[in-house]
Amino acid sequence: MDTENLHYFEKAPIAKAVAHFAVPMMLGTSMSVIYSILNAYFLGTLHNTAMLTALALTLPLFAVIMALGNLIGMGSGTFISRLLGEKKYEDVKHVSSFAFYSSLVLGLIVMAVSLPMIDSIVHGLGATLESFAFTKDYVTIMLIGSPIVVLFFTLENIVRAEGAAITSMTGMILSVVVNIILDVLVIFVFHWDVKGVASATIISNLVAIVFYAFHMRSKSQFLTISLKWFKATKEIMSNVFKIGVPVFIMSIFLGAMSLIFNHFLVEYGDPAVAAYGISSRLLQFPEFILMGLCEGVVPLIAFSYTANKLRMKHTIGFTIKVIVALATVFGLIVYLISDHLIGLFTNDPQLIEMGSYILHVTFLSLFITGMTTLFTGIFQATAQGTAAFVMSVIQGITLIPVLYFANRMNGFHGVVWSIVIADAVTFLVGAIMLYVLRNKLQPELESLVH
């Protein structure tokens, strides 16, 4: 962490500090979504609904692999930011080395355990007879590349945690640009369809890993990939997993929810699954912008939690205002041009109608999901393990029964609306827990003021 990053952590005006940490993350995540949308667009040009269905069905698997990266990355990242706030710089080296090598090991375990069960996994994802072969191709390549994907998400988190937000963004954008270039080649030149798309994802993540590793080895003052700094002490593992495990569980629940959701949609045919796949990718753009904002400020909140709690409070207040503004703007855009957005991916009238409907409904909860992400980030940054754990399970616990009854009562419409209901419950639970946390911190804040 250089002097400039330290300035943004400690002294810069709140709006400027939030922009420094959040804007690069927002740009990085938005590029990731643009890639995801282009992915579906490129495959859509082949006019094969089974390929689009396979792409939608594999989202839960990617969520699980990403969850392992976030298990180590988010847990290590928030711990690193708190250590920096306490000026325990040597400990940061131990944590970053632990994050690097434990991520590799986790990815290798996933590959070794999952590949022998490949057919069962594909069936479990809900692949139909038409989409089975395409889904299996994608799943096989993603599992082989899982050590790379896990490490990518880990390194992006810990580089950002040090305050190097622009470096973190650069790695994410580099991955996306390489991915898009490779997608064009593998689909339109080599005609590798789904296999090519999956391979492009793995290769682009590897390019970003090399970039992050170079930064940690040559430019970062405190982060390291050196094995000699590796430590797996009780203190390190406790602090990493206290936050990392709830993040992992949340990601697993999201994957499981996506899987269950797809199983309910399959009842209404492949067009329903494909329409949800397209609309969910479009929804990812504003969601990931808000996620980039909320995750971007986590290092600033974590640093301020150990160094200046009043600054932490002001940071949270400013971030909430930005969430409200962004959710309003994105909501208006979608309600005006939703048909045209879905029409970019398909000329099937049924897909356009179903996809537009899903967009209208799910965008109702955009502000709620933004706030929920911020609540979770606050609990992670302030080492509130119990609150983070509750946030990780409440949406899944709510969605499953709601989905079951809504489907029985109102069919396809009930399935779609169940997402909004689950999001609303999660928001209320998070708001209550944040209020309790605020009361716990208030005496300390008052002592700082006086």
pLDDT at 121 over 80: yes
Round to whole Å and give the CA distance between 153 and 110.
15
Cα–Cα nearest to 225, from 138, 297, 154:
154
pLDDT digits (tens, 9 = 90+) for 408-447: 888 888 888 888 888 889 899 999 988 887 766 553 434 3
**pLDDT of res. 448:** 36
pLDDT digits (tens, 9 = 90+) for 262-309: 778 777 777 777 778 777 777 777 888 888 888 888 888 888 887 777
Q: What domain range includes position 104?
A: 3-449
Round to whole Å and give the CA distance between 274 and 257.
17
The counts of H helices and E strands in the chain are 17, 0
pLDDT digits (tens, 9 = 90+) for 135-159: 888 889 999 999 999 999 999 888 9
Mean pLDDT of 247-272: 74
What total of structural domains would you count in the chain? 1
